[in-house]
């Protein structure tokens, strides 16, 4: 992860709600004051309305693959992006190309907001609201300029995945940023405390369902962070060579989010009465044809089916699917996804619980592709 970008979610909805707030309060500065007060108290507006009103969350973007042959500057250890940088990025298009599903104009809850509890200083717990393009209970944020998304049409298309149970490995789980960890660690080489522990939970559910899985725990981001994707690409290619039956590759990460005042964001859902970290699926698109990513549509079909399973089985666990002009080594197979689990201020228990639920949703999705 290399930079921060400001992502505006539910722009139209936010504008409508903001007008109402301003009319009621009589002055815009009250909104800024409200933000400070909410952050201090760890307060959550129902349905993530604060997120829609203020649109000031700064989400840490993954750096994409550098062009072939380019040399990235090396760092000695941790990425500087996790400092409190606030460089704004480009916002998603305000209108979608023809053929897109209708964008929602309402602010609605993606889950029951977690009850306010004692949180570390500077941390705000939220249930991030649904935003973007909607079809039934599926939500997608489309950041592409040249590609709309027709969700029902894509769901009707068959992914290029054929799962054979109780056979050779069908799924590869790996971690480009292997040392990404959670509350109390941020970065850790201890596989019991970083994203590897989440991968173990996912793998356990797949194995229990008879779907053979390889969990490659190679460390790609230590001691040098830059070049992580080049190194994880080698890992994926080596596994594809060793296990030619692999159908799915999953790069499991954790996210990092903050607000302009430095407050760290803890995206949390309540599932079966327990807190779990919200997750986000990233499905890349070769929006202008320059990424060398000709089969991205197949990944999108798979990602939408997984988003559907998550939304039906665990409402509120999945944030809107991120559909953007990125590659992230997803060009290596027709069943490749990057998935972000929580942020650096979610607890290890919360993210491991999410790993379990994600594994069960994957089983549900892959059972339909046997």
Rounded Cα distance, 333 and 298, in Å: 9
Helices within 161-315 (DSSP H only): 195-208, 228-242, 296-313
CB 344 within 8 A of CB 78: no
Sign of CA dihedral 44, 47, 51, 57: positive
Q: For the residues 355-360, what does the mean pLDDT come to?
A: 98
Range name among 71-75, 231-235, 303-307 with the lowest pLDDT average: 71-75
Helices within 104-188 (DSSP H only): 151-156
Q: For the residues 341-367, what does the mean pLDDT come to?
A: 98
pLDDT at 264: 97
Q: For the residues 177-199, what does the mean pLDDT come to?
A: 97
Region of 216 (left: φ > 0; alpha: ψ -120 to 50; beta: rest) is beta
Share of the chain above pLDDT 70, in %: 68
∠ CA 88-181-250, nearest 5°, is 80
Question: What phi and psi values does residue 200 have, to the nearest 5 degrees?
Answer: -65, -40
**251 or 99, greater pLDDT:** 251
pLDDT at 98: 28
Sign of CA dihedral 191, 197, 202, 206: positive
Rounded Cα distance, 229 and 231, in Å: 5
SS3 45: coil
> What is the per-residue burial (b if ≥16 Cβ within 10 Å, else e) of 98-120?
eebbebbeebbbbbebbeeeeee
- 243 has pLDDT over 80: yes
Burial of 224 (0-12, 13-18, 19+ CB in 10 A): middle
Range name among 68-77, 299-308, 320-329 with the lowest pLDDT average: 68-77
Helices within 43-114 (DSSP H only): 49-54
- 310 has pLDDT over 60: yes
Per-residue pLDDT of 286-296, as tens digits, reads 999 999 999 99
CB atoms within 10 A of CB 11: 17
Per-residue pLDDT of 135-156, as tens digits, reads 999 999 999 999 999 999 999 9
pLDDT at 118: 83
Give, for 3, the enclosing helix (H) or strand (E).
strand 3-6
C-alpha to C-alpha distances, 286 to 145, 297, 325, nearest whole angstrom:
11, 9, 6
- 239 has pLDDT over 60: yes
pTM of the model: 0.77
pLDDT at 272: 94
Rounded Cα distance, 142 and 6, in Å: 15
Per-residue pLDDT of 28-58, as tens digits, reads 333 333 333 333 333 343 333 333 333 346 6
pLDDT confidence band for 109 (50 / 70 / 90): very low
Q: Helices 348-367 and 296-313 meet at what angle, rounded to 10?
A: 110
pLDDT at 32: 37
∠ CA 216-218-223, nearest 5°, is 160
C-alpha to C-alpha distances, 283 to 45, 107, 136, 301, 303, nearest whole angstrom:
29, 24, 19, 9, 7
| Size (the chain), residues | 370
Q: For the residues 169-176, what does the mean pLDDT come to?
A: 98
* Distant-in-sequence, close-in-space partners of 85: CB < 8 Å, separation ≥ 6: 3, 4, 58
Q: For the residues 154-163, what does the mean pLDDT come to?
A: 98
CB 103 within 8 A of CB 132: yes
What tokens were used for 299? 């990944």
Sign of CA dihedral 225, 1, 64, 89: negative
- 21 has pLDDT over 80: no
Q: For the residues 213-217, what does the mean pLDDT come to?
A: 98
């Amino acid at each position: 992860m290399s930079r921060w970008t400001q992502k505006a979610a539910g722009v139209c909805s936010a504008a409508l709600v903001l007008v109402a707030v301003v009319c009621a309060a009589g002055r815009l500065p009250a909104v800024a004051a409200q933000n400070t007060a909410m952050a201090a108290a760890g307060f959550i507006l129902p349905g993530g309305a604060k997120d829609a009103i203020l649109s000031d969350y700064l989400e840490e973007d993954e750096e994409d693959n550098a062009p072939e042959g380019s040399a990235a500057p090396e760092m000695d250890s941790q990425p500087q992006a996790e400092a409190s940088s606030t460089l704004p990025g480009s916002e998603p298009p305000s209108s979608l190309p023809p053929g897109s599903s209708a964008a929602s104009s309402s602010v609605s809850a993606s889950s029951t907001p977690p009850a306010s509890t004692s949180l570390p200083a500077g941390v705000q717990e939220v249930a991030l609201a649904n935003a973007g393009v909607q079809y039934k209970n599926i939500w997608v944020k489309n950041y592409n300029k040249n590609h709309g998304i027709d969700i029902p049409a894509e769901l009707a298309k068959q992914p290029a995945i054929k799962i054979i149970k109780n056979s050779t490995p069908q799924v590869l789980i790996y971690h480009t940023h292997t040392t990404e960890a959670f509350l109390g660690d941020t970065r850790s080489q201890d596989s019991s405390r970083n994203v590897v522990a989440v991968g173990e939970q996912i793998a356990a559910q797949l194995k229990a369902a008879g779907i053979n899985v390889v969990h490659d725990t190679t460390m790609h981001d230590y001691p040098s962070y830059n070049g992580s994707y080049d190194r994880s690409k080698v890992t994926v290619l080596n596994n594809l060579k060793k296990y030619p039956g692999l159908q799915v590759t999953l790069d499991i990460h954790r996210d990092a989010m903050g607000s302009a005042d430095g407050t760290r964001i803890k995206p949390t859902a309540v599932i079966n009465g327990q807190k779990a970290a919200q997750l986000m699926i990233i499905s890349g698109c070769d929006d202008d044809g320059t990424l060398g990513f000709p089969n991205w549509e197949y990944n999108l079909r798979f990602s939408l089916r997984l988003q559907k399973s998550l939304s039906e089985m665990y409402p509120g666990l999945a944030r809107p699917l991120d559909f953007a002009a990125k590659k992230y080594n997803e060009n290596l197979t027709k069943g490749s996804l990057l998935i972000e689990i929580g942020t650096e201020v979610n607890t290890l228990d919360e993210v491991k619980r999410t790993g379990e639920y994600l594994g069960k949703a994957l089983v549900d999705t892959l059972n339909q592709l046997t």
